[in-house]
Amino acid sequence: MKRNSGKSWLSVPYIVWMLLFSIIPLCIVIYYAFTDSLTGEFTFSNITGILDYATIFLRSIWLSVAATIICLIIGYPVAYTIARCKPRTQRMLQMLVMLPMCMSFLLRTLAWVALLEDTGIINNIITSLGLQPLPLIRNSGAVILGMVYNYLPYMILPLYTVISKINPRLIEAAEDLGCSKAKTFTKVILPLSVPGIISGITMVFVPAVSTFYISQKLGSTGTVMVGDIIESQFKGAYNPNLGAAMSLILMILIFICIGITNRVAGDEEEVMMP
């Protein structure tokens, strides 16, 4: 006890960091969300004012859910394949998955703009073949594509981590008992990988629902998302109170997702064998 208490000062930098960059900013957001922009008096008008943007909230949720589902459909087979490779091959494939994350998020998005725009690389190839250019940009599909490309690694890595921890003896036992490969996957592998699925869904959905740069560069006025409105409230409309209220709602959503993830992750060690 004395040894631990003597080293308790080591946590001071972390506490100061959390206080300055997490707790205080969160309190400021809550203050602005429940105060009037002119008088500074307590009010719920900012929260109720979010109802005027209900359509944009629903659109953001819909686009984020679509991107998350696509990431899961693509990411699960990739993660499963990596987990079943040899250790050396696994390390190489992990590096390839994480390699795009070493590049700036903005550059990755601008690269897709260069590919999809009306005079971009893809349409130049199409027109060189004598065909009409396709509307590849400034639509919902382009926004979903941008989110899938940028957030796919956040789905693959948690899935890989969980699938690689599944005890091979459980799979061998299922096969010895007469289960086909398909039934082994649905009855053994898939249920045991649920923690990774939940974690991946959270890690993709949370940043996707609050994104704004992707929708600005790849979307149009018909694909405006919550992140765009929050940015406009601080930069254009000069109504930080409403922007803070929207940010607060998004934070609540994030806390809910994290709570679900922690609840499921708490059972991971009970269903996984090291």
Q: What is the pLDDT of residues 129-160, one digit of tens each?
A: 988 999 999 999 999 999 999 999 999 999 99
Which of 25-39, 59-73, 138-152, 243-257 is the least confident region? 243-257
Residue 265 has pLDDT above 70, yes or no: no
C-alpha span between 225 and 232 (Å, rounded): 11
pLDDT band at 261, cuts 50/70/90? Answer: low
> Tens digits of per-residue pLDDT, 79-119?
999 999 998 999 999 999 998 888 888 899 999 999 999 88
Integer CA distances (angstroms), 62 to 48, 205, 213, 214, in order: 22, 10, 17, 15
> Which one is predicted more confidently, 70 or 180?
70
Distances (CA, A) of 25 to 28, 116, 209: 5, 38, 21
Q: Where are the alpha helices (DSSP H) in 117-239?
A: 121-128, 140-164, 168-176, 181-184, 190-192, 194-209, 213-218, 226-235
Residues whose CB falls within 8 Å of the CB of residue 126, separated by 6 or more in sequence, listed in order: 132, 133, 134
What's the pLDDT at 4?
A: 55
Domains of the chain in start order, with CATH, are: 54-265 (1.10.3720.10)
Percent of the chain with pLDDT over 90: 42
Q: How confident is the model at residue 273 (pLDDT cuts 50, 70, 90)?
A: very low
Output the pLDDT for position 212: 87
The b/e string for 174-183 (b: 16+ C-beta within 10 A; e otherwise) is beeeebeeee
Q: What is the pLDDT of residue 170?
A: 87
Please report the pLDDT score of residue 3 as a whole number: 54
Three-class SS state of 42 = strand
pLDDT band at 1 (very low <50, low <70, confident <90, very high): very low
